[in-house]
Structure 1
Amino acid sequence: MLRGAQRRLFIAPVNSAGQGYAWARASERVEGTAAAAFMYRDPNDTFGFLADSEVPTVFFRTNRPWQRAQRRAVAARFTHVIVESGRQLFGTDEPLADQLRRLQRHRVAVALLWHGSDIRLPSAHAAREPDSPFRGSGYADTDRLEEIAQRGRALMADVDAPVFVSTPDLLDEVPQASWLPVVVDLKRWEASSSEIRWGAKPIVVHVPSNAGLKGSSLIGATMRRLHAEGLVDYRELRNVPAAQMPAEYGRADIVLDQFALGIYGVAACEAMASGRLVISHVSDQVRDAVRVHTGRELPILQARADGLEGVLRAVVAEPDRFIALAATGREFVRAVHDGRRSANVLREFLGAPAQGGVAGA
């Protein structure tokens, strides 16, 4: 399939939340394009996101013959490469900037793509976000993330390449970037979900996949108290394989996303695609960016951690009003996150003719 395509895109090497694979499939909506997503995978990976090819992390980092062969294969087989998170493409045998310049000398077009903590400066986030996990000493890895984000900025200054970000909040971090929306397979999430029709006690779920960044500790005591009171049936989902998540969301009525970063991403989109009511703290800046770029309102019910109890009591008191809000989530995901808009964003980088309008708008 790659051999006969005019444009051949390689996305690597982390496949965060399965998005490398999802963007590869989205790019194939562009005529004459074939794509492959590659990742290295740890042996304790419980999520199991799909990839076109993968190797164990230790093998990726240490196997010199494989690294040389992979470098030759990518340069020979692909016309375009998107590098995720500033990670080395071919193991650790040389700096990433050298790897990318080598590809460019082989006339391979290169782009950089950032997911979030790989480019978000904790110091800047703490200055603008009252609930930032990076304020004070609450998040143990703040200094490490600051260093990673600074390295990402140095890479962008060192390598002449277009830049993409996966979430609109990162447009403040990287003003020269283009927003490449995350992609969700609507059919997969719709298949496991019926309409929400909660009674007196809705099922509320939260996935503390990175609890320190999501602000899970900010809502834990409140949710346990509301559960004990009988207002809601609260459940935390931990270490659930990706293949099981549609069924888990399908059993829920409300999904609590995150309460510290002020963003929305893959998890919120998956919950909206499932038809669930999503409650989360999404900053005004992010909501404005969505409105400017898509012409649509983000259908996520706003709540900061200290106001979550009041929001949930209002939801339980007026279920019909909020069920109606949840019903708009699928249409938003269909318009912005089903892959059509992402393909259109990638079109210029891939050197494909422009199309009128924006697909999915």
Structure 2
Amino acid sequence: MGIVTRVAGAPRRAIDRMLRRRASLPKPVNRLIDHVADHPDGLLGRLAARSLGSFGPDDIPPPTAAPDTPVRVYIAPTNYAAQGWSWARALEAVPGGRIGARNMAVEVPGGFDFPADTEVPVPVYARSVDWQRAELAAVSAFTHVLVEAERPLFGRLFSRDLLAEARVLREAGLSTAYLAHGTDVRLPSAHRELTPWSPFADAELYVDRLEREASRNRRLLAELGRPTFVSTPDLLIDVPGAHWCPVVVDLDRWREPEPPGVRERPIVVHVPSKSTIKGTQLIEPAMRELDRAGVIEYRSVSGVPSERMPELYRTADIVLDQFRLGSYGVAACEAMAAGRVVVGHVVDSVRAAAAAAGDGVALPIVEATPDTVGEVVASLAADTERMRRLGAAGIAFVEAVHDGRCSARALVDHWIGEA
């Protein structure tokens, strides 16, 4: 599916660079950017939508077809790390075969390629009224709709008003639920109280917009009054009354035929999707020092396509996850599924939620902060037997909590009901 893009790459890259350094921009510029984002139907909003590029008839995908089952679940529109697709597959694996599920994802140019039942190019999602209306008609054939990250399902069809969209879905007889993913509901001011390593304490991070959006989304979820889920357990603090729907990983994709061995000089890998958020700059000095001393071999890797990640993890002994949010997500689960030792900073409330979901199986991520990561990794490197135990414990934990069964059970128990 080829997107016809008539916007030059250089201006788009300049806009991206500007957005990444918003904290250093003058206040009037930031207010203008926020105004455009908050008023999509205004003149500047319409011009911004056109900057996403144009499209032709061949770029418009067919509407998402509902499965032929008594219960039909539609999940959209973000599919972060293929989670929308994975939750759909988890629901279809519920015994009895009465649940069918499909996901729709907005295809972001230059993003990672994740599987989805329906992929919609950004310009089509934002500007094609024909696609928006056809998708709405198709969704009316489902019985349940799970909305991800408080994003509109049908682009600008309802001026990005989720309350208006929810009314239309309700009038069509659909049962709706909402699933928060992270920054959409994570309040920076509250997170700074959760962990001293919070990235939202950084002066260079533009938190004003994040604070307003998270506050607005939390009010929206409360006003909607529908079942609400979160993808990571730390967000249970941000959305009172929400239920944890764990992220899902495909164990068969990550598991090795034989348990991995441990090298005498362990290879330590860090794959930061967002280095500032994960704390790369805080942990690398200690890792470089251990590397120079010959204790470990340190590798920081970025831009690896999703399909190559299993191969990357097979070259590692220890995977450094995230050190600032106090939680864990898909990347840590994938590394544990591969039998690798995972090190990161995880707050006690997250560990408690993980143990409860796993019927007492403890989260085996080795605790470390930016202050202690050097000491922790050096200790692991000197104890190969402990590393083997941790690797096996990681696989067992993912099997217990993140293979899809817990996720499907959460959605069924707290929303869909007996299928």
Q: Per the shorter chain, which TM-score range?
A: over 0.9
Taking a change above 3 Å as real, the CA distance of residues 236 and 194 of structure 1, as seen in their structure-2 partners, is: farther
Give the conservation status (yes or no) of the 8 Å contact 1:196–1:276: no
What's the counterpart of residue 331 of structure 1? 396
Q: Is the 8 A contact 2:290 2:378 kept in 1?
A: no
Taking a change above 3 Å as real, the CA distance of residues 6 and 253 of structure 1, as seen in their structure-2 partners, is: same
Post-superposition offset of 1:192: 7.6
Q: Does residue 110 of structure 1 match 2:191?
A: no
2:18 — aligned with what? none
In the TM superposition, what are the counterparts of 1:255-274 in structure 2 within 5 Å?
255-274=319-338
Q: CA deviation at 1:322?
A: 2.3
- Please name the residue that 1:175 is paired with: 240
Partner SS for 2:170: helix
TM-score (norm 2): 0.81
SS in 2 for 1:111: strand
Query: Could you tell which deviates more after superposition, 167-176 or 268-277?
Result: 167-176
Question: Which piece of structure 1 moves more, 30-39 or 140-149?
Answer: 140-149
Q: TM-score, normalised by structure 1?
A: 0.93
CA distance in 2, matches of 1:160, 1:173: 16
Aligned match for 1:165, one of 230, 238, 244: 230
CA distance in 1, matches of 2:167, 2:134: 17
Larger Rg: 2
Aligned amino acid, residue 106 of structure 1 = A
Give the C-alpha shift of residue 296 in structure 1. Answer: 1.9
Q: Aligned residues: percent identity? A: 47
Gaps of 5+ in 1: 354-361
After TM superposition, give the deviation of residue 194 of structure 1 in Å: 4.8
Give the partner amino acid of 1:300: I
In 2, Cα distance between the equivalents of 1:341 and 1:109? 21
> Superposition pairs for residues 73-222 of structure 1, below 5 Å?
73-75=138-140, 77-94=141-158, 95-138=161-204, 140-191=205-256, 194-199=259-264, 201-222=265-286
Following the alignment from structure 1 to structure 2, what is the Cα–Cα distance between the partners of residues 159 and 352?
23
Superposed counterparts of 1:283-298, under 5 Å: 283-294=347-358, 295-298=360-363
Q: CA deviation at 1:193?
A: 7.3
In 1, Cα distance between the equivalents of 2:297 and 2:304?
19
Select the residue among 306, 312, 319 that pairs with 1:248.
Answer: 312
| 3-state SS of paired residue (1:174) | coil
User: Cα distance, 1:98 vs. partner?
Assistant: 0.8
Equivalent residues, number = 349
Q: In structure 2, what is the equivalent of residue 225 of structure 1?
A: 289
Report the 3-state secondary structure (helix = DSSP H, G, I; strand = E; otherwise coil) of the residue aligned with 1:170.
helix
What is the deviation of 1:2? 3.8
User: How far apart, CA to CA, are the structure 1 residues paired with 2:68 and 2:127?
Assistant: 33
Does the CA contact (< 8 Å) of 1:203 and 1:235 recur in 2?
A: yes
Once residues 116 and 54 of structure 1 are traced to their aligned partners in structure 2, the CA distance between those partners, rounded to angstroms, is 22
**Closer/same/farther in 2, CA of residues 307 and 101 from structure 1, 3 Å limit:** same
3-state DSSP of counterpart to 1:310: helix
Q: Is the 8 A contact 2:114 2:306 kept in 1?
A: yes
Tell me the CA shift for residue 128 of structure 1: 2.2
Cα offset, 1:182, TM superposition? 0.8
8 Å contact 1:192–1:246 — kept in the other structure? no
SS of alignment partner, residue 54 of structure 1: strand
Greater relative CO, 1 or 2 (CA 8 Å, sep 6+): 1
Q: Could you say which residue in structure 1 is the equivalent of 2:87?
A: 23
SS at 1:255 equivalent: strand
Offset at residue 136 of structure 1 (A): 4.3
Q: Which residue of 1 aligns with 2:364?
A: 299
Q: Counterparts of 2:276 and 2:157 in 1: how far apart (Å)?
A: 33
Corresponding position of 1:5: 69
Do residues 320 (structure 1) and 370 (structure 2) align?
Answer: no
| Contact 2:269/2:320, CA 8 A, preserved across alignment | yes
Instruction: Determine the C-alpha separation between the residues in 1 that align with 2:313 and 2:78.
Output: 25
Higher mean displacement: 277-286 or 311-320: 311-320
1:357 aligns with none
User: For the residues of structure 1 that align with 2:153 and 2:316, how far apart are their CA atoms?
Assistant: 39
**Cα distance in structure 1, aligned partners of 2:77 and 2:68:** 24
Residue identity matched to 1:226: L
1:4 shift after superposition: 2.1
Amino acid at match of 1:59: V
* 5+ long unaligned stretches in structure 2: 1-64
Counterpart selection for 2:345 from 281, 284, 289: 281
Does structure 1 retain, via aligned residues, the 8 Å contact 2:268–2:297?
Answer: yes
Q: Aligned partners of 2:409, 2:348: CA distance in 1, in Å?
A: 26
Shift of 1:54: 0.6
Kept in 2, the 8 Å contact 1:193–1:251? The answer is: no
Whether contact under 8 Å (2:195, 2:325) holds in the other structure is: yes
Structure 1 residue 198, shift from structure 2 partner? 1.3
